[in-house]
Structure 1
Amino acid sequence: MKGIISIQPHVVYGHDGNSSAVFPIQRMGIDIWPIHTGQYSNHTQYQQGWTGRSYPADDINAAIQGLDNIHQLSNCQAVISGYLSNTEQCTAVNQAITQVKNRNHSALYVCDPAIENHVEASVHFEQIQTQIIQQLVPISDVVVSNQYELEQLTGLKINNIEDAIYACQRALTMGPNIILIKHLPIVAEKTCTMMLATPKVIYISQRPWIEFTRSPVGVGALVTALFTACLVNQMSPVAALQHTNNALYGVLELTRDNNSCELETVSAQYEFVEPTFNFPLQKINFKKTISTT
Structure 2
Amino acid sequence: MKNVLSIQSHVVFGHAGNGASVFPMQRLGVNVWPLNTVQFSNHTQYGHWAGSAIDASQMQELVEGIGAIGVLRRCDAVLSGFLSSPEQAEAVVEIVRAVKATNPHAWYFCDPVMGQTGGYNVEPGIQQYLVNTMPEVADGLAPNHNELQKLAGRKIETVEEAVQACREIIRRGPQVILVKHLLDRNSLADRFNMLVVTENEAWMGQRPLYPFARQPVGVGDLTSAVFVARRLLGDSVRAAFEHTLAAVHAVVKATFDAGRYELEIVAAQNEIAQPSEWFGAWVTDAA
TM-score, length of structure 1 as denominator length = 0.93
The correspondence of residues 177-216 of structure 1 with structure 2, limited to 5 A, is 177-186=175-184, 187-216=187-216
Q: In structure 2, what is the Cα distance between the partners aligned to 1:278 and 1:197?
A: 20
- 2:218 is aligned with 1:218: yes
- 2:79 is aligned with 1:91: no
Give how far 1:244 is off. 0.2
Match of residue 56 from structure 1:
55
Post-superposition Cα deviations, 1:117-170, rounded to whole Å, max 9, x if no partner, equal: 589xx9943x11121223222111110010100110111210112211111111
Match of residue 290 from structure 1:
none
- 2:257 is aligned with 1:227: no
Runs of 4+ in structure 1 displaced over 6 angstroms? none
Q: 1:23 to 1:123 in 2, by over 3 A?
A: closer
Post-superposition Cα deviations, 1:70-128, rounded to whole Å, max 9, x if no partner, equal: 11111101101111101110110010000001111111100000012589xx9943x11
Post-superposition Cα deviations, 1:21-68, rounded to whole Å, max 9, x if no partner, equal: 110011011110000111000011224x00000110011101110111
Contact kept? 1:192, 1:206, Cα under 8 Å: yes
Unaligned segments of structure 2, at least 5 residues: none
Letter in 2 for 1:222: L
Match of residue 257 from structure 1:
257
Match of residue 81 from structure 1:
80
TM-score, length of structure 2 as denominator length = 0.95
Match of residue 143 from structure 2:
145
The correspondence of residues 277-292 of structure 1 with structure 2, limited to 5 A, is 277-286=277-286
Aligned-pair identity (%): 39
Give how far 1:276 is off. 1.4
Match of residue 66 from structure 1:
65
Letter in 1 for 2:159: I
Contact kept? 2:13, 2:42, Cα under 8 Å: yes
Q: 1:31 to 1:280 in 2, by over 3 A?
A: same
Post-superposition Cα deviations, 1:223-280, rounded to whole Å, max 9, x if no partner, equal: 0100000111011111000000001111111101111100000000001210011112
Letter in 2 for 1:158: I
Instruction: Describe the SS at the equivalent of 1:145.
Output: coil
Q: In structure 2, what is the Cα distance between the partners aligned to 1:222 and 1:71?
A: 29
Unaligned segments of structure 1, at least 5 residues: 288-293
Contact kept? 2:157, 2:183, Cα under 8 Å: no
